[in-house]
Amino acid sequence: GLSEEELQTRLLEEVDIAFDELSNQNHYKKEEDPKFFKSVKTGRGPLIEGWRSMDEPIMCSYKLVNASFEVWGLQTKVEDFIQRSIRDVLLLGHRQAFTWIDEWYGMTLADVRAFERQKQAETNEKLKATDDN
């Protein structure tokens, strides 16, 4: 758990997978935008303004992030960059979880773990190909 001081100084930030903008638009893909996606398997989507109060089921997750970069003259800028980057990673990842639902819906936990390993291997191959160029 968090100390009383940490509880008092923490910043709670909501992430709306449909209507929050990515700070780096290079990562934006229309097919991964919940405002335009409709699941064939579940019928979920597209998400409209106010979706969190209208749609069921929804998921809420809490992430605790501590960013510390104690270098005079750079601390604020680097810590702000880290926070924005982490926010984008979480926003993008949760958008993908929603828009890729037809790929994983109905899987067992073991199936999901195998799917995660496959996606990780594919990502590593893409990164390797980028490094080789």
Q: How far apart are CA 10 and CA 67, in angstroms?
A: 12
Look at the block and give the residue holding tokens 């929804």: 58
pLDDT at 123: 87
pLDDT at 42: 94
CB 83 within 8 A of CB 67: yes
The CA R_g of the chain, rounded to the nearest whole Å, is 18
pLDDT at 23: 86
pLDDT at 98: 95
Alpha helices per DSSP H over the chain: 4-9, 51-54, 75-99, 101-104, 109-132
pLDDT at 133: 66
Q: How far apart are CA 97 and CA 88, in angstroms?
A: 14
Domains delineated in the chain: 4-99 (3.30.530.20)
Residue ranges, the chain, pLDDT below 50 = none
pLDDT at 20: 95
pLDDT at 12: 86
Number of alpha helices (DSSP H) and beta strands (DSSP E) in the chain: 5, 0
